[in-house]
Amino acid sequence: MDGNGRWATRRYLPRVAGHKRGMDTLRNCVRLCGERGIRVLTVFAFSSENWKRPADEVSSLMDLLAGALGREVSLLQAEGVQLHFVGDRSPLSDKIRAGLVQAEAVTAGNQRLIFNICFNYGGRWDITQAAAALAARGEAITEASMNAAMSLAHVPDPDLLIRTGGERRLSNFLLWQAAYCEFYFSDKLWPEFDAQALDEALADFAQRERRFGRTSEQLAAPESKRAA
Ligand code: IPE
Ligand code: MG
């Protein structure tokens, strides 16, 4: 979700106004995904690098998260959303950490849409914590054991990754999980990412041929003939 700050600056507003508008966009996006039958939505809300921003912006982002925990969870509950917070929680305040646990517990039984909010997340952090956990347990490091130890082990790898705001970078998001992901870059700033923009991304995705290392000819053949 990139472009909140620019959206605000272009309107002579403080950056936090962009983050607030971005929160409205996210609420709408969750609803749209549910309506479209998408089963998993994962968003990058705060990266491990975002701590380098000015202290007042960091604290506004923390306040927005704390406010959302109070306000939005009943709405997510009504929409059948199962919430997960993904990332290193250790530097967050006790109050926020308790709020994350509570929000996850309240929504744990919901099945319509799994909604992962990556907060103080980094792809390298995730790979490192997974490897460290395996090493601490004395387990062998294999692709399967790493998959099981990653912070997104509860969902399949993403099919489509959308980055808004015109940048064409991964910025330390889903490094492990994006191995076969389709990328879609939108020049729209996140606060402007509406239903039409989402549907354009989904239509673009629907046209892609996903070969997972195979050839087009293999994909055209019946399943039984595809092996090796
Ligand atoms: C993304 O918007 C939201 C967060 C990182 C929290 P930005 O804040 O990166 O917006 P720009 O890139 O400065 O416009
Ligand atoms: Mg940005």
Tens of pLDDT, residue by residue over 13-55, are 999 999 999 999 999 999 999 999 999 999 999 999 999 999 9
Decide: helix, strand or coil at residue 11: coil
Extract the residue ranges of the chain whose pLDDT is less than 50.
none
Q: Average pLDDT of the chain? A: 96
Distance (Å, whole) CA 169 – CA 68: 28
Whole-number Å distance, alpha carbon 2 to ligand 2 midpoint, is 5
Decide: helix, strand or coil at residue 79: coil
| Contact between residue 184 and residue 204 where contact means Cβ atoms under 8 Å apart | yes
Any ligand 1 atom below 6 A from CB of 6: yes
Any ligand 1 atom below 6 A from CB of 21: no
Burial class (CB in 10 A: 0-12, 13-18, 19+), 222: exposed
Q: Which of 50, 110, 147, 172 is catalytic?
A: 50
Q: Can you give the pLDDT at residue 227? A: 63
CATH number assigned to the domain with residue range 4-204, chosen from the 4 options 3.30.300.30, 3.40.50.12780, 3.40.50.300, 3.40.1180.10: 3.40.1180.10
Which phi and psi angles does 126 have, rounded to 5°?
-65, -45
Tokens describing residue 92: 């967050």
Any ligand 1 atom below 6 A from CB of 17: no
Q: Can you give the pLDDT at residue 38? A: 98
* pTM for the predicted model, two decimal places: 0.95
Q: Where are the domains of the chain?
A: 4-204
Could you tell me how far CA 62 lies from the centroid of its own chain?
17
Q: Can you give the pLDDT at residue 224? A: 76
Nearest CA to ligand 1 atom 9: 2
Closest ligand 1 atom to Cα of 61: 6
Whole-number Å distance, alpha carbon 142 to ligand 1 midpoint, is 35
Closest ligand 1 atom to Cα of 15: 8
Q: Can you give the pLDDT at residue 223? A: 79
Distance (Å, whole) CA 72 – CA 69: 6
Q: Can you give the pLDDT at residue 87? A: 98
Distance (Å, whole) CA 197 – CA 166: 13
Active-site residue flag, 2: yes
